[in-house]
A and B are shown apart, each in its own frame.
Chain A
Amino acid sequence: MGSPVDSRPSMDKSTEDIELELLLDAIYRKYSYDFRHYAMASIRRRLKQARERFGCATYSALQDRVLHDEAVLPSLLSYLTVQVSEMFRDPSYFRALREEVIPHLRTYPSLKVWVAGCSSGEELYSLVILFREEQLENRTLFYATDINPDALAKAEAGVYELSRIPLFTENHRKAGGKSSLSDYYTAAYGGAVFDKSLRERVVFSDHSLVSDAAFAEMQLISCRNVLIYFVRDMQDRAFGLFKESLGPKGFLGLGAKETVRFSQHANAFTDFNRSERIYRKRDLQ
C-alpha cells in the first residue's frame, strides 16, 4: 500500500521511460559508461537538461546524436556526473575527522585514503589540507577517483573560481582549520590555483564504483553525495567494494543524509559518529 509500484505496473511504461532506458543502454554499449543503475528520478532531470541543451526534441533523437557523434559524449558525461561540491562542505564532518578519526589514524605508520567519486577535487584538497595540518600528509597516499575524465582533469588542475573562496575559507575555519586557506593557493586570472605540493601524494585515476574492483587496502574512504545517485542494488555493490577495500577497522565517511542502514552490507559497518555519517568496518574476528 502506498508504494508507487502498486500504481505503476511495468506494462504501463511511458514512451519516454522506454526512450530513457534505450538511451542509457546505447551509452553503455557504445562507450562502456554504465548509468543504467543510477537513480532514475535524478538522472531523468539531468538528461532533460542535456536534451534541451543539445536541442533534441526526444531522447531518441539524443540517442541518435550520441551514437553517431562521439564529440557529444564528454559534455553529455558532465551532465550525467557533474557534482556540485565545495571545500570542507559540511564543516562538522571534517571537524569530526580531525578530532575523532585522526587520533586513530596517527597510530598507523603509513596510510591510504580513497576519495571515491572525487569530481572536481574540492573534497580531495580539503582532506589533503586537513592531513597536512595534522602532520599526517607525508605518510599518506591519497587516491582520487572518478569516472568522468573532465572532472578528473579539473581535480588535477586544482583551480577554482575566486568567487567560491570566501565560502571555502569560512568552511575551513568552521572545520577547525589550523592554518589559513590562503596559504594553499595563489590568485591568478580570476581563479584560485591550489599549490601543486598538495598533489604530491595524490594518485588520480579513472575508476567506476559500478564496474571496477578494489585496488588497495585503505584506512579511510570518503565518498560523499555520490551514492545518492545510485539505485539500491548499485549502492550495495559500492558498499561491498568499500568493505573489501577497507583494512581492519577502517573508516568510511558518507554524505550528511546517506546511510549504510538500508544496504545488505549494513552489518559490516558500525556507527563511529552517527550524526556525521562516519562508519567503521566491523571487526569480524
Chain B
Amino acid sequence: MSASTLQAVAIGASAGALDALSVILPPLPADFRLPLFLVVHLPPDKESLLTDILAAKCRLRVREAEDKIPIEGGTLYVAPPNYHMLVESDGCLSLSSDEEVHFSRPSIDVLFESAADAYGEALGGIVLTGANEDGAAGLRAIAAAGGTAVVQQPALAMAAAMPQAALNACPSARVLGLEAIGAWLQSLHQEGSS
C-alpha cells in the first residue's frame, strides 16, 4: 500500500468490462471520498450507453466527461466514445481527438499517463479484463510516479491479455480478484476520513 493517501483512482477495462465494473463499483458509497476516472474501449460510432448503465447500478455520481469539467470526489468520470480523456494538473479533465493509441480512442494509456503526471503518488490505477495491451505502459507510468498499481488477476479475468500485459510491464502491481479490488476501493474511502 502506498504511504500517502490516494486522491484519485483511474480504471481501464476492455472486453468483459461491464461485468467486472458491476462487481467493484456498485458497493461504493454516494459520498465516496475520491474521484474515479474510467476508460472502457467502445466502438467509436455508437452513442455510449455505458454511462447510463453504470449510473443505474451505482450510488456514485456517474458522468460522461465533458471537456474541462471540474473534478469532484464521489464522481465516476467516464471517457466519451471517440475521445481521449486526460487529467490536467489544474483540477479538470480535458478531452482530445488525437490519433488512436493501441487502436483505441479513448485509450487507457493516455488517461493513466496524464493522471500520473497530475497526481503522482496520490493516484491508484487499476487494469481490468481486456484483450489487448492498452493500459500496460500507463500502469507502469503510475507506478513510476509513486502511485499504487493494481491488476485484476489475469487467470480470473474474462479476457486475460490486458491485465497480463499490464502485469508484465509493471511487475510491482498488486494482483487481486474483483472482490478484493472492490474491498480495496472501499478501504480508500475510510483511509481519508481517519
A41-B88 contact in complex given A2-B7, A46-B98, A228-B96, C-beta closer than 8 Å: yes
Question: Are B86 and A2 touching (Cβ within 8 A)?
Answer: no
Interface presence of A199 (CB below 8 A) = no
Query: Given that A41-B94, A41-B117, A231-B90 are contacting pairs, would A6 and B7 also be in contact in the complex, using a CB cutoff of 8 Å?
Result: yes
Q: A179 interface residue, CB < 8 Å from B? A: no
A1 interface neighbour in B64, B73, B80, Cβ under 8 Å: B73
Which residue from B34, B66, B118 sits with its C-beta under 8 Å from A41?
Answer: B118
A85 to B83, CA, bound (A): 12
Residues of the A chain whose Cβ atoms lie less than 8 Å from the Cβ of B97: 83-85, 225, 228, 255
- Which 5 residue pairs are nearest across A and B when measured between Cβ atoms? A41-B86, A41-B114, A3-B91, A2-B73, A4-B118
**How far is it, in angstroms, between the C-alpha of A83 and the C-alpha of B71 when the chains are bound?**
26
Known: A8-B119, A42-B98, A259-B67. A1 touches B92 (CB 8 A): no
B: number of interface residues (CB 8 Å): 43
Alpha-carbon gap, A85 to B110, bound state (A):
19
The answer on a CB contact under 8 Å between A257 and B88 is: no
Could you say which residues of chain B place their CB within 8 Å of the CB of A12?
120
CB of B29 within 8 A of chain A? no
Residue pairs across A and B with Cβ atoms less than 8 A apart, 9 shown, are A2-B33, A3-B71, A3-B91, A4-B119, A4-B122, A8-B118, A228-B96, A229-B96, A232-B92
> Interface on A for B, CB 8 Å cutoff?
1-8, 12, 39-42, 44-46, 83-85, 225, 227-229, 231-232, 235, 255-259, 261-262
A151 to chain B: closest CB distance in Å?
15
Q: A7-B7, A39-B96, A40-B89 known; 19 other A-B pairs, CB under 8 Å? A: A1-B33, A1-B192, A2-B34, A4-B8, A4-B88, A4-B119, A4-B122, A8-B118, A8-B120, A41-B114, A42-B86, A42-B96, A45-B110, A228-B83, A228-B95, A231-B90, A256-B82, A257-B65, A258-B67
In the complex, A256 Cα to B71 Cα: how many Å?
A: 20
Residue of A2, A39, A259, A262 with most chain B CB atoms under a 10 A cut-off: A2
Of B65, B89, B99, chain A has the most CB atoms within 10 Å of the CB of B89
Contacts of B67 in A (CB 8 A): 227-228, 255, 257-259
Residues of B within 8 A of A228 (CB): 67-68, 83, 94-97
Distance from B166 Cβ to chain A, minimum over Cβ atoms (Å): 19
Of all chain B residues, which has the CB nearest A90?
A: B82
Contact assessment for A8 and B89 in the assembled complex, using a CB-CB cutoff below 8 Å: yes
Q: Which residue of A lies closest to B4 (CB)?
A: A7
Task: Kindly identify, within residues 65 to 120 of chain B, every residue whose CB is under 8 Å from any CB belonging to chain A.
Answer: 65-73, 80, 82-84, 86-92, 94-99, 110, 113-114, 117-120
B35 interface contact, C-beta 8 A: yes
A84–B99 contact, CB under 8 A? yes
Neighbouring B residues of A41 by C-beta, 8 Å: 86-89, 94, 114, 117-118
When chains A and B are docked, how far (Å) is the Cα of A82 from the Cα of B67?
19
CB pair A45–B98 under 8 Å, yes or no, is yes
Inter-chain contacts of A45 with B (CB < 8 A)? 86, 96, 98, 110, 113-114
* Cα distance A231–B92 in the bound complex, in angstroms: 10
Nearest B residue to A225, CB-CB: B97
Most buried by B among A44, A45, A235: A45
Choice from A39, A227, A255, A256 contacting B88 with Cβ under 8 Å = A39
Nearest CB on A from B4, distance (A): 8
Nearest Cβ on chain A to B64's Cβ, whole angstroms: 8
The distance in angstroms between the C-alpha atoms of A227 and B96, with both chains bound, is 10
The chain B residue sitting closest to A7, CB to CB, is B122
Which residue of chain A lies nearest to B34 when distances are taken between CB atoms in the complex? A2
CA distance A229 to B119 in the complex (A): 20
B114 CB contacts on chain A under 8 angstroms: 41, 44-45
Q: How far is the CB of B32 from chain A (nearest CB, A)?
A: 10
Q: Please, how many angstroms separate the alpha-carbon atoms of A85 and B98 in the complex?
A: 9
State whether B66 touches A259 (Cβ < 8 A): yes
Supposing A235-B68, A257-B83, A258-B66 touch, asked if A4 and B96 sit within 8 A by C-beta, the answer is no
Query: Which residue of the partner chain A has the closest CB to B192?
Result: A1
**Which of A4, A83, A85, A225 has its CB near the most chain B CB atoms (within 10 A)?**
A4
- Closest chain A residue to B94, Cβ basis: A39
User: What chain B residues lie within 8 Å of A8 (beta carbons)?
Assistant: 89, 118-120
Q: Are A4 and B94 in contact (CB under 8 A)?
A: no
